[in-house]
Amino acid sequence: MPRLTATDRERIADLFDRHLELGVHHGAQLAVYADEECVLDLAGGVTGPDGETTTPETRHVLFSCTKPYAAVALHALVDEGDLAYDDRIVDHWPEFADSGTTKAEVTVRQVLSHTAGLPYGEINDRPEAWTDWETAVEHVEAMDLVFDPGERPAYHALTFGWLVGELVRRVSGSPIEEVAADRVFEPLGMTNTGIGLRADERDDVATLVGFETFDRCRDPGEGLGADHVELAALFNEEAYHRAVIPASSGIGTARDMARFYACLANDGEFEGTRVLSESIVDEATALEAATDADGTLSRPARFALGFWKGGTKADPYGSLSPPRVFGHAGLGSSVGWADPDDTVGFSYVTNGVRDGTYEHVVRSNALADAVRRAIR
């Protein structure tokens, strides 16, 4: 019996199309896998204000939806026995902190669960440094703790990527983008996804549109203090498409992301290929830290190791998302999640950057609810 009927697909497609008709964004993709079967693969609109037709193969900037890709590259190294979650970062990256300091006590687990105490620093306000790996890493090495390690969950919006990425490089001897390709993207057939574009790839990424204040339903909150319009313009530049920023420069499609989450929903195996062991998937996706007021975003948060868990009023996995659901959203334009109870992988990707604390959650939840009601 199909997990989605023809009527279900039509109903979801109508809602997907309605968002485009209303001008919520110029182009979008929606993909859903259930029991390793692609049951929904929609694309519509255009790649930008004057762009071409959006197809399922159109690549988009994924912003923070990149973080789980980087995290799973690190989880694969844990799975292979190259490091452990409770290792200190300095055990693998000595320059990270001076011996005997509180910063030297930061662990791999704390980095992955956003409790490392390094949620922001000067590097957050230096976008010209984001495209230079060595410079970004030097900034992280020079950072002082904002909170003591393990003291407070605080979303590491940018620093997460360099912390995970440099740790992967130190442990494996290879750059994070190569490890992610070897351990995640290639095994899962995610042919249109990478952490940044490679030198031999054409820059055909969809154009981001940051909607101005008068286009929003309400004024944006403080959040990260970032201006969505400015960030959209920045990440439309080819230099940022090609940069390796493991927290935000993922380039990919909804279909690929849904495959990724379908694999994790199925205990780390997809179409006969095992990416992670079942025990590592269980540990990586278990609740690690929870708060009613995240130290960066001032909103409820439930963190696993590289993922946000469902079960709060602020997550974009459906208006009543089950607590076991896990995934990640990206700067008001994309979201992916896995529901292990129903073995479902979901991804919704657009090129319209809106306020992530309200409008993005509303539109994402509407589609998630429609899919969850229809899945049989």
For residue 212, pLDDT over 90 is answered with no
Six-digit token string for 163: 């912390």
What are the residues whose beta carbons fall under 8 Å from the beta carbon of 114, sequence distance 6 or more? 153, 154, 155, 156, 160, 289, 294, 301, 303
For residue 354, pLDDT over 90 is answered with no
CA distance 88 to 111: 10
The SS3 assignment for 241 reads helix
**pLDDT on residue 208:** 95
**pLDDT on residue 333:** 85
Query: Which domains does the chain possess?
Result: 6-74+177-374 (3.40.710.10)
CA distance 334 to 178: 23
Query: Concatenated DSSP letters for 213-235?
Result: GGGSSS----TTS--HHHHHHHT
For residue 209, pLDDT over 60 is answered with yes
Per-chain mean pLDDT for the chain: 93
Look at 14-28, 101-115, 175-189, 355-369 and tell me which has the smallest mean pLDDT: 355-369
Q: Using an 8 Å Cβ cutoff, are 252 and 194 in contact?
A: yes
**pLDDT on residue 2:** 67
**pLDDT on residue 321:** 81
Question: SS3 helix, strand, coil % of the chain, rounded to 5?
Answer: 35, 15, 45
Give Cα separations from 194 to 69, 191, 365 (angstroms). Answer: 9, 8, 26
What are the residues whose beta carbons fall under 8 Å from the beta carbon of 81, sequence distance 6 or more? none
Percent of the chain exceeding pLDDT 70 equals: 95
Q: pTM for this one?
A: 0.95
Count of positions (residues) in the chain: 376
pLDDT digit string, tens, across residues 289-304: 999 999 999 999 999 9
The SS3 assignment for 59 reads coil
Contacts by residues 169-176 (CB-CB < 8 Å, ≥ 24 positions apart): 170/92, 170/93, 171/77, 171/82, 171/83, 171/92, 172/77, 172/82, 175/133, 175/244, 176/70, 176/73, 176/244, 176/246
pLDDT digit string, tens, across residues 305-351: 999 999 988 889 998 788 999 999 998 889 999 999 999 999 999 99
Percent of the chain exceeding pLDDT 90 equals: 84
Name the more confident of 50 and 251.
251
